Structure 1
Amino acid sequence: MSTNGYNPVPITGTDESQEDAVIPSPMELMIIEEVDEDEETKTIRTRIRDINTSITENILTPMKVHVLDPMNEIQQMVSMKFDSYLSKVGNVPIIRRFLYIFFICIVVWILHLYKTQDGGFSDHDLLLNYVKESIDLNSFETKWEYISSMPCLSGTKGDVIISKYIKKSLEAMNMDEVEMLEYKGYMNFPEEEKNVLHVFNNQDPVLDIELSKENFNPLAWNGEIEKTTLIFGNRGSRDDFKRLLEHGIIRSGRHNYVLIVFYSDLIHEQILLSELVTIKGIIFISDKYKDDVIQMKSVGLPQYSMGNVLKADWHGYKALKSAHDEPRSTPRIPTIPLSYNQGHKLLKLISKDGVNFGDGLFSGLGKGISVSFNVNSTVKEKQPTYNVLGKIRGREQTTKSIIITASKNSVNFGALYPSFGTTTLIALAELFQKVRYKFNWAPLRNIYFMTVGGSEFNSIGAATYLEENLLPIKDEIYSIIDISELGFISSKETFQIETHPLLHDFLQGVVSKSYNASTSHVQHYGDWTPFMANGIPVSILSVPDIRNKVLPIDTDADSFNEASDILKDLGKQNDLSNLLVTLFEIILKLVDEPNIPFNVVQYVKIMDKLLQDIEQDHSKELNFNEIIKAMLKWKSIGSEWNQFIHNWNSSVSKNESAYGKESLRVSKERWNWNNKLSNIGRRTVSEYGLLDRKYYKNGIFGPTLWKMDYGVDSWSFPGVRDAIMTTDWSKAQWELDEVAAALNFASDMFK
């Protein structure tokens, strides 16, 4: 029996005639329903048909006859008339298309002009509250312990291992982009063979000091010292050298002295001053610590240039043939560091004669005690180091970005510096990714997180990264925040901020909510210096002990074992959490505030104050007219920016934690202002650089060749101040006019 593809199902019952019965198929049921349509259904259908007929006859047909048809005839008449006029001008179809496009453009423009949007602005309070609950100190401790578990000198296996670890940590967060960038440059490493410093008294051996791998300075000059007179020079400052010269202890032009000095904050000046008076070599004495440690500090000369000392052609010089050709970035004399106890063994042998430096320490007369030693570090001219870069992509102004940086390398374990900063950078990246996935959030502009290598070798990683990406970086990056010099800090301690004047008020405002904030413009060298030299606004966030490299930093005692007890203190745990929240807020506001938080008025005030310091002392020698005119332009720009902010805040309603709606017209004005503001730094630089130091192109903020006398700023108008120091007034005027020209050039984009 055919069942149309369905299996028959018997119908149970007592009647034998039902044994062959089956349940009908769905098609059969449908057919049955159609055949068995009742009278009520037919009546409904008839009524619907009658209503439809009535509407057509009484409404639609009269509407067509009396309204639509006449309008159509009128439209055809107008169209024919209009076409007759168009035919006198040109091709009718082409002109019609043009007018249609023009009409649509007008409509779209009107809609854009008056349309509003919520802008997608974030509720920062909501994000910050979530971050406070999301900080994982156990994860922080684990990462910190691993990163500081091995020496991480640039160019070594430790550098490779830690760099790969950081890369994997960022990749595990699913960041938009993660890269491990290799840069090669000149490096030196501790010699493998044992070495000895020999001490003589009137040519007779009196003391031998065994030297180890720890008696090492990165970028030290290789050379041999043979029975050369030893003199104590205190801290090796200009005043110290002046006293030695006045007392006749040293005589310029004679190459028969080795200077023993305590480290100062300006090692590069200690070396340059020694070379000027033809000192033959320098022995550095480390500071006193609970253990007898050796401070292995870099002896590079960053005031001339930064980066690979074998390659300086990118900033205007020809390629170098050796590490010690111009431009100068390394010493010309051997240097060697000693521990505090090793150094004092030598000091005890020096006679109590000559210049009295206090604390029972004298220079000696330059007679009797002499030393012999050899610096023979292993040199690699193309040794690799690594930057690790991670990116969170923005959603609005995606051509504008900030970079959060932290140094990665140190001669030793570097738990307090730089490993704490590196770990903090990873923790911040992780917090931003947590917020991103929790709230489906993205910043208005891009964030890069970058650990940089080669810090101890004249910042090879940072400088080469800038060199290879100079134009894109100057176009895209409007701020760099370096957190390498941070550490544990309580709310009662000083939080140091060194920053571009455009960001003074912003950073001071955020940090002072939780700490005693101290704000100034940048005053010392680091991985940020190459960016600063090219006008990019940089900020360094630090605590005093880390910034000043207080012991055990730069020694083998800076290990995690020494630092791990800190995290067992509940108070220190709270301090770390508060620090991470403060840093998160700084980055969040800097990258996610609709208006980039630059204060142009404050920028002008700080520049004006620094300029007045020069004008007061040298108004007779220099003409300040051009730069004053340029400053007045910037004062006007500052007023315009403040007025825009006022108008913007008025037009974009704001509740306690989030902005309201913003019209597209206002959005475009805001984007335009942000683009201009982000270009201030890059445009206020000289194309040619300072006259005597071409690497430094920022004539407003940057290092002078020599630290200025007490009370005089050493990190502003460097070209002008360098020329003033040598009383070269024509050169000083040229540098001053270059600054004025740069300010004028930058102000033109605001017209």
Structure 2
Amino acid sequence: MRSNDYHRLPTESSSTSNLHNNNNESDLPSNPPQYYEFENEEDNDNNQRNDNHQLHHHTIHESTSTPSIEQFEIEEPEFERRHGFINRAQAISHKFANNFNNRVIHPVTRMIDPIYEGYKYVQMQYERSILKLGNPLVVKRLLYVLTMMVLVFAISKYSENGSIKGGSGTFAKGRFYEIDRLSDSVNQFINPKNMKENLEYFSSIPHLTGTKGDLLFAKYIEKHMKSNGLHNVELDEFQSFTNYPTTQSYLKLKDGSFHAKLYEKNNKDMQNLAFNPNSLSTIEEIEGNYVYVNYGKEEDYAKINNVNLENKIVLIKYGGDIPESNKVLIAQNHKAKAVVFITPKFDDQDDVIQKINVGLTRFSPGDILTPGWSSDNGFATRLSWEKSKSTPKIPSIPISWKDGQELIKKLNNGYQFSDFTSGNGDSPILQFKISNVNKPVHPLWNVVGSIEGREQSEKGIIIGSARDSTCDGTMSSNTGTVAFLELIKVLTSLQRKFQWIPSRSIFFVSFDATEYNLGGSTEWIENRKETLRREGYLYIDMSDLVTGDELFVNSHPILKETVKNSLAKVKVDGDKTMNDISPKIVDEFSDYANYIPFINLVNIPSLEIKFRGKNYPKNSCYDSFERFEKSNIDKLMLKHSQLVELLSRIIIDFVETPLIPYNFVELANQLKIYENDLEKYANSIIENLKVKPILHYDGLKRSLNTLKDVGEKYNEWAREWRNFITQSGGLEPPMYSAMRGMWNNNMIEFNNRFISRNLQFKRSGYKNFLFGIPFSAPLNSNEYNWGSFPFVREYIQQHDFSSAQNEIDLLASTIEDASMKFITL
């Protein structure tokens, strides 16, 4: 609003000077004009009488020779004078009423009379006809029923208009809405061109967590959610630790023969600079000898055990089968002074620098200064860097493959790894300083919106996508985000076209700070843990959605049946479906992704579906739109479109099927496979020990049999329910409806029983003792199924077999108890 559009009017207390200071107000009177006619106001009777008396006296005095009419007027009594206006008003109203009666009421009555006489005649004939047919009361009721049947038939026949059948309390073949018709309509709303344009636009904006680009991106998504009709859309701000690189950092040899180029693409903008998110900065320059330790695993250190690593700087390659944060911890445990990460070579590009988180995710994801609790506001308790178990205690910095090779070539002797020599500890002196800007409390933004359910709105599924990136993030975050936005548009378009409201709610969350120890997703969960445990029953992750040609499905066992059914309905090439291209279907939730806190903090069954396979420079400025185009990964955005359709079908199934489509028999069968795998793993450890302990698995096996029996009983009830609904034409009695609601409640409560309430866990971010990852488990290993029974495996790995047996027994009793309470209605 312009400042001169509005001026406040002066009051009586306004000063003259103030009025003259404003030209628009100077012409206004300082007080309202006086009025002297107060015919009907008690407070002014005296004034009126005085005025009338003066007027009357003056008239008589002037008219002594010529009589005037005023001299002979009879003064009205005071009562009549006071009520003269009321009397006149009454007379006018009577006159108006008479005119309205004569001109409107009587003519209309004359018109209606013949109609009424005709109605009476028809009614008399109707009554005579009824008497001829039989008992009038019975015949009238039969005619009423017939009329209603005709009316209902007409409405059902002519009000279809392409809509999807359904509504609260009504079914079509045991379902609320015609799910197949909804799902088959998805394709008409998918726009590949729009996704391509969004991908190019998003890739033109660096959006490092907590920066202006990140906030701009968040507001864009917020606007998209609102414009597509999502409910409860909000920019959910939280506070967390972040750090940012500066040009003051350096890494060089003391003799001047080498100076690392700590930026990409000959560009020193912040997003191009080398740093590790959550890394420790240095106060003063660090210097020392350096040693190459391959991928930085314990096995690698064992191979150079003759080298004293105390106060040495270790060079470690990115990649391998353990997280980078674990590599820093292992180096710290070997008394190294610092870590220099070497980025792998990508194609012909040897100056790529990847920026990868070194916050200790395997201890607790989220803000590294508030491990295990929410940092949602500025008043949350924050640990010092030294006391937090999630913070690295030695500094680290990444360099390019080209610079890494230059340093390693100067090493002599030592252990010969597959590519380079470790060195013997007597290397040139390396000097470096890390001058990151640290923000202990910095604003970050999740963007949240929802489609509210109509029948069980308190239950819902969550669709999440990583938004932030250490640079442009084309494949690492943007491929998921463009499909995420398209998915929102598709589902809300179905709502508008078919007047569809899902039975249960759908929540969409664009997560910030994924590259900072999964900060956005973890803090969002930690702020609403109890609610999610009671109400959430599926999480779908859409991060790095299209990075290759291999269809990869990572699914909780209880979800696999529905996922496979949906795969068989999505066409990819002619008559081929996604099921025909041999997708890899696993349950390996060990990677660095936003499903980690959903599994380990609230045990919500999770799902990840993507195209992967090509090696790309994730977390680097070389992960660009130009590279995406040159790689020919998805130029026409067909893979994006297929995944949007597939996920839409899965979502519709999970929110619209009256009984949540969990498969407990499949879960029991898969857990039996995991139990055999656990025995195999334990035996591999025990066989190398002199004293061989014995672990007993009988109780665990019996509990899994109980779970399978319970699953079969539930399947039997579900079949009976579907048969009844089909035979009844879609009508569900209140008792069946109540039982169905109780089954759905029990399914979610079943998941909740495997979350420990123990506050003394060594790893505060890991509460699930049915699924999860042991601290030292390798990434994406096919040797054992590390994602099951994590606490048991961890104790076995530590050779603590007594605790392992206790954990096996606790696991068995929990499965038994959860199974029996699930079947109880």
Which TM-score band applies after superposition, normalised by the shorter structure?
A: 0.7 to 0.9
Correspondence for 1:424 among 483, 495, 507: 483
Question: Is structure 2 residue 279 aligned with structure 1 residue 209?
Answer: no
1:649 aligns with 2:711: no
Q: 1:26 to 1:419 in 2, by over 3 A?
A: closer
Cross-structure match for 2:90: none
In the alignment, is residue 298 of structure 1 matched against residue 346 of structure 2? Answer: no
Alignment of 1:598 with 2:662, yes or no, is yes
The one-letter amino acid of 1:639's match is: E
User: For residues 276 and 680 of structure 2, what CA distance do their matches in structure 1 show?
Assistant: 42
* Compared CA separation, residues 217 and 184, structure 1 to 2 (3 A): same
Query: What is the distance in 2 between the residues matched to 1:395 and 1:32?
Result: 53
Give the corresponding residue for 1:159.
214
**Distance in 1 (alpha carbons) for counterparts of 2:335 and 2:532:** 41
Instruction: Measure the CA separation in 1 of the matches of 2:382 and 2:232.
Output: 35
Q: Percent identity among equivalent residues?
A: 27
Preserved CA contact (<8 Å) 1:690 1:696:
no
Aligned equivalent of 1:324: 386
SS at match of 1:505: helix
Match of 1:276 among 333, 336, 352: 333
Name the aligned partner's letter for residue 736 of structure 2: V
Cα distance in 1 between the residues matched to 2:634 and 2:202: 21
What is the alpha-carbon distance in structure 2 between the residues aligned to residue 311 and residue 150 of structure 1?
A: 30
Which residues of structure 2 form unaligned runs of 5+?
1-94, 97-101, 137-168, 264-269, 569-576, 684-692
Q: Offset at 1:569?
A: 7.1
User: Does 2:742 correspond to 1:677?
Assistant: no
1:192 CA displacement = 4.2
Which residue, out of 536, 545, 551, partners 1:486?
Answer: 545
User: In the TM superposition, what whole-angstrom CA distance separates every residue of 1:576-619 from its partner, at most 9, and x where no partner exists?
Assistant: 32222112111111211222111111111222221222235648
Classify the secondary structure of the residue corresponding to 1:648.
helix
Contact 1:312-1:319 within 8 A present in 2 as well: no
Are residues 1:525 and 2:592 paired?
A: yes
Change (3 A) 1:636 1:205: same
For residues 388-537 of structure 1, the aligned pairs below 5 Å read 388-487=447-546, 493-511=549-567, 513-514=577-578, 515-521=581-587, 522-534=589-601, 535-537=603-605
Q: Deviations over 1:143-177 (max 9, x none)?
A: 22332221111111111111111000100011122
- 1:733 alignment partner, one of 805, 809, 817: 805
DSSP 3-state at the match of 1:357: coil
Q: Distance in 2 between matches of 1:706 and 1:648?
A: 46
Query: 1:508, 1:612 → 2: CA distance?
Result: 25
Shift of 1:436: 0.4
Q: Which residue of 2 aligns with 1:563?
A: 628
Task: Note if contact 2:171-2:177 (Cα within 8 Å) is conserved in structure 1.
Answer: no
**282, 287, 294: which one aligns with 1:234:** 294
Any conservation in 2 of the 1:504–1:520 contact (CA below 8 Å)? no
> SS of the residue aligned with 1:384?
strand
Shift of 1:232: 1.2
Give yes or no for contact 1:416–1:558 (8 Å, CA) kept in 2: yes
Structure 1 residue 381, shift from structure 2 partner: 0.6
Q: Relative to 1, partners in 2 of residues 1:415 and 1:32: Cα closer, same or farther, differing over 3 Å?
A: closer
1: CA distance, partners of 2:326 / 2:415: 21
Q: CA deviation at 1:668?
A: 2.8
Instruction: Judge conservation of contact 2:372–2:764 (CA < 8 Å) in 1.
Output: no
Q: Which of 541, 544, 562 pairs up with 2:612?
A: 544
Moved over 6 A (4+): 24-35, 565-570
CA 648–689 in structure 1, closer or farther in 2 if over 3 Å, else same = farther
- TM-score, normalization by structure 2: 0.72
Q: In structure 1, what residue type is equivalent to 2:758?
A: Y
Deviations 1:93-132 (A, max 9, x none): xxxxxxxxxxxxxxxxxxxxxx976577222332233221
Q: Confirm or deny that 1:177 pairs with 2:232.
A: yes
Deviation per CA, 1:306-344: give whole Å up to 9, x if none: 11111136399x944313313x21211111111111111
1:742 and 1:157 map into 2 onto residues whose CA distance is 48
CA distance in 2, matches of 1:668, 1:160: 45
In 2: Cα distance, 1:357 partner to 1:566 partner: 32
CA shift at 1:710, angstroms? 6.8
User: Relative to structure 1, is the Cα distance of residues 255 and 594 closer, same or farther in structure 2, using a 3 angstrom cutoff?
Assistant: same
Structure 1 counterpart of 2:715, which letter?
Answer: N
Conserved 8 A contact 1:478-1:678: yes
Q: Does 1:742 align with 2:814?
A: yes
State the partner residue of 1:135: 190
Which residue is 1:358 aligned to? Answer: 418
Q: Find the aligned partners of 1:31 and 1:455 in 2 and give their Cα distance.
A: 78
Residue number among 362, 367, 378 corresponding to 2:437 in the alignment: 378
Question: Partner letter of residue 242 of structure 2?
Answer: M
2:364–2:372 contact (8 Å) kept in structure 1: no
SS in 1 for 2:537: strand
Q: Which moved more, 1:659-668 or 1:174-183?
A: 659-668
* C-alpha deviation, 1:552, in angstroms: 2.6
SS of aligned partner of 1:270: helix
Within 2, Cα distance between the matches of 1:464 and 1:225? 34
1:553 aligns with 2:615: no
CA contact (8 A) 2:475 2:547 kept: no
Compute the RMSD of aligned alpha carbons: 3.4
- Mapping 1:83-102, distance limit 5 Å: none
Pair 628,575 (structure 1): closer, same or farther in 2 beyond 3 Å? closer
Kindly indicate whether the alpha-carbon contact (under 8 Å) linking 1:690 and 1:697 is maintained by their aligned counterparts in 2: no
Greater alpha carbon shift after TM alignment, 686-695 vs 341-350 = 686-695
User: What is the rounded CA distance, in whole Å, between the counterparts of 1:322 and 1:173 in structure 2?
Assistant: 43
Distance 1:527 1:210, change over 3 A: same
Asked if structure 2 preserves the Cα contact closer than 8 Å seen for 1:627 and 1:737, the reply is yes
| CA offsets 1:618-662 (integer angstroms, 9 cap, x no match) | 48532334433332321221111221232233223399xxx9554
Q: In the alignment, is the contact (CA less than 8 A) between 1:275 and 1:333 conserved in 2?
A: yes
- 3-state SS, counterpart of residue 776 of structure 2: coil
Q: Could you say if the C-alpha distance between residues 320 and 625 of structure 1 is closer, same or farther in structure 2, counting changes exceeding 3 Å?
A: farther
* SS at structure 1 position matched to 2:335: coil
Q: SS at the partner of 2:456?
A: coil
Summarize the Cα distance change of 1:33–1:429 in structure 2 as closer, same or farther, 3 Å threshold.
closer
Structure 2 Cα separation of the partners of residues 429 and 29 of structure 1? 61
Q: Which residue of 1 aligns with 2:181?
A: 126
Shift of 1:417: 1.3
Does 2:575 match 1:575?
Answer: no
Mapped to 2, the partners of 1:370 and 1:306 lie a distance apart of 36
Map of 1:701 onto structure 2: 771
**Aligned AA for 1:396?**
E
- Label 1:298 to 1:640 Cα distance change in 2 as closer, same or farther (>3 A): same
Shift of 1:670: 2.3
Q: Which residue of 2 aligns with 1:103?
A: none
1:394/1:206 CA distance change after superposition, 3 Å: same
CA contact (8 A) 1:685 1:742 kept: no
Partner letter of residue 749 of structure 2?
Answer: N
Q: In the alignment, which residue of structure 2 is the partner of 1:259?
A: 315
Q: Which runs of 5+ in 1 are unaligned?
A: 6-23, 61-114
- Give the partner amino acid of 1:706: S
Partner of 2:258, secondary structure, is strand
Task: Output the CA distance in 2 between the equivalents of 1:236 and 1:560.
Answer: 32
- Structure 1: how far apart are the matches of 2:326 and 2:814? 30
Q: Secondary structure at the match of 1:372?
A: strand
Secondary structure at 1:186 match in 2: strand
CA contact (8 A) 1:263 1:284 kept: no
Q: Name the counterpart of 2:790.
A: 718
Letter in 2 for 1:208: H
